[in-house]
Amino acid sequence: MSGTRQANIPLCEMPTQWYNIVPDLPEPLPLPMDPESGPSRLANLPKMMIGECLKQEMSQERWVDIPPGIQELYAQAGRPRPLFRAVNLEKELGTPARMYYKGEFFSPTGSHKVNTALAQAYYARQEGFERLTTETGAGQWGTALAYAASLMGLKCTVYWVRAVYSWKADRKALMELFGAEVLASPSPRTRAGKALYDMDPNHHGSLAIAISEGMEDASSDPKAVYSLGSVLNHVLLHQTIIGLEAKKQFDRFGDYPDVVISCVGGGSNFGGFAIPFLHDVLKQGKKIKFIAAQSQSTPNLQAEYRYDFADHAELTPMLKMMTLGHRIESPPIKGDGLRYHGCSPILSLLRHTGYIDTVAYPIDEKHVFERAVIFVKCEGFLPAPESAYSIACAIDEALKCKETGEKKAIAFNISGHGFLDIPGYRKVLDIR
């Protein structure tokens, strides 16, 4: 199905395999490793992670079958999701560029995070676990996992970065409607959290701290397993459903992107959208410009490429990634899902080898939110604050085309909706 404004594929054409880019990377992906001292974090992984996810994490298999049970869950969650041509936005900007956005905001919980939440909850259930523990920043991942756990009959405990927990009461209520237990992080519940909580009960927290709490919680309960919402190879793998669908939808439009843009925190949204197109660049010689939209609060893709921990309490193995340091203190923002110290090892390697450009927008977020308003007025969908970064970057690129007269096709993913983020819009845009 396609018209001038929207293309979609029927359910029977939804991809049945995820794409694993690891065997196609321009250099071998450096393996996780243990720090020089202390207990082996690598040896602890099988006790901490969902077995199938750990297997996928290390996999060199290029195409990984999506089990029929997960395909059904994807269908229930409304996949395939449409690709739109932003006709009104193009007119408003007066750009010769063709602008396309993928509608990941058509999601029961509001974002792309359900694509891996459903897979992880499905595998956890198969492996006999009864409870999932996790971190969340924006709250989108926590809600997605709460939803997936609920569908799979599992319990769910969410450690939520306090800076965001404090202003998203309705999103907390949504997680609780799905049956999850939701705690502000750092919390007094875990050793990792308590040490910081005791120093400052209003500590605004970070994803790195919340990850430590989720891991510690799971490790003390044999019926629980820890589930991570971004960064790791298997998470990006599950998210490739986004870009794989988008490629089929581009075929229906009879077009192909020159520029692929999305926002990056830990990298699952950007990776999910861009990796299937990166395949074409690496294997078929296509030329695409990839741009990761970030915040100056944590521009991890502009940082050092080195081994670092993924969490604050150093419970994870060390990952080779672009990192600002796992204990960095960064200012909270309204797009707080982007505030993470390190970027996925896969994307870090691709950035290091020159395949990905980045832009980091100022912490006051005015530019980003003002661009999002232009989009809302033309296209009608309210993006999540994180997705507003993708929109800002796409508009900036389209305006460059206006200056140069280039007729590029610009593709961006709108990873989530902003219906539960209105207080953030009000604050940044001073709406009374």
Ligand X SMILES: Cc1ncc(COP(=O)(O)O)c(C=O)c1O
Q: How far apart are the first and last CA of the chain?
A: 42
Residue 386 binds ligand X, judged by CB under 6 A? yes
Nearer to ligand X, 372 or 401 (CB): 372
Binding window for ligand X (CB under 6 A); candidates: 167-175, 260-268, 278-286, 368-376: 260-268
Nearer to ligand X, 141 or 250 (CB): 141
Dihedral sign for Cα atoms in the order 308, 311, 312, 314: negative
Tell which one of 123, 141, 165, 412 touches ligand X (CB under 6 A). 141
Show the CA angle centred on residue 343, arms to residues 280 and 326, nearest 5°: 165
Phi, psi of 350 (to 5 degrees): -70, -35
Torsion from C-alpha of 333, 335, 341, 347, nearest 10 degrees: -160
Nearer to ligand X, 209 or 401 (CB): 209
Tell which one of 140, 190, 298, 330 touches ligand X (CB under 6 A). 140
Query: What mask, x for binding ligand X by CB under 6 A, covers residues 1 to 20?
Result: --------------------
Count Cβ atoms within 10 A of the Cβ of residue 318 and give its class: 0-12 exposed, 13-18 middle, 19 or more buried: buried
Least spacing, CB of residue 344 vs ligand X, in Å: 8
**Residues of this chain, 207-236, that bind ligand X according to CB under 6 A:** 230
SS3 state at 260: strand
Nearer to ligand X, 336 or 397 (CB): 336
Write the DSSP assignment of 246-259 as a string of letters. Answer: HHHHHHHHT---SE
**Residues of this chain, 301-360, that bind ligand X according to CB under 6 A:** 337-338
Residue 206 binds ligand X, judged by CB under 6 A? no
* Alpha-helical segments (H) within 130-232: 140-152, 162-165, 169-177, 191-199, 207-219
Which amino acid is residue 32, in one-letter code? P
**Residue 5 to residue 107: CA distance in whole angstroms:** 20
Tell which one of 56, 115, 187, 415 touches ligand X (CB under 6 A). 415
Contact 309, 318 (CB under 8 A): yes
Tell which one of 218, 241, 264, 281 touches ligand X (CB under 6 A). 264
Residue 266 binds ligand X, judged by CB under 6 A? yes
Three-state SS sequence of 212-235: HHHHHHHHCCCCEEECCCCCCHHH
Binding window for ligand X (CB under 6 A); candidates: 60-68, 135-143, 243-251, 311-319: 135-143
Beta strands in 272-428 (DSSP E): 289-295, 304-309, 318-323, 356-361, 409-414
Nearer to ligand X, 9 or 343 (CB): 343
How do beta strands 356-361 and 289-295 pair?
Answer: parallel
**344: Cβ contacts below 8 Å, ≥ 6 apart:** 230, 231, 232, 233, 235, 236, 266, 267, 268, 271, 321
**Residue 315 to residue 326: CA distance in whole angstroms:** 11
Binding window for ligand X (CB under 6 A); candidates: 126-134, 315-323, 349-357, 381-389: 381-389
Least spacing, CB of residue 136 vs ligand X, in Å: 7
Nearer to ligand X, 93 or 242 (CB): 242
Report residue 207 as tokens.
């994803």
Least spacing, CB of residue 400 vs ligand X, in Å: 23
Residue 424 binds ligand X, judged by CB under 6 A? no
Binding window for ligand X (CB under 6 A); candidates: 14-22, 25-33, 77-85, 134-142: 134-142
Nearer to ligand X, 144 or 410 (CB): 144
Least spacing, CB of residue 145 vs ligand X, in Å: 12
Binding window for ligand X (CB under 6 A); candidates: 122-130, 136-144, 145-153, 325-333: 136-144
Least spacing, CB of residue 119 vs ligand X, in Å: 15
Least spacing, CB of residue 305 vs ligand X, in Å: 18
How many chain residues interact with ligand X (CB under 6 A)?
21
**Residue 225 to residue 216: CA distance in whole angstroms:** 10
Tell which one of 384, 388, 398, 409 touches ligand X (CB under 6 A). 384
Nearer to ligand X, 80 or 229 (CB): 229
**Residue 298 to residue 163: CA distance in whole angstroms:** 15
* Contacts to ligand X by CB under 6 A: 111, 137-138, 140-141, 230, 263-270, 337-338, 384, 386-387, 415-416
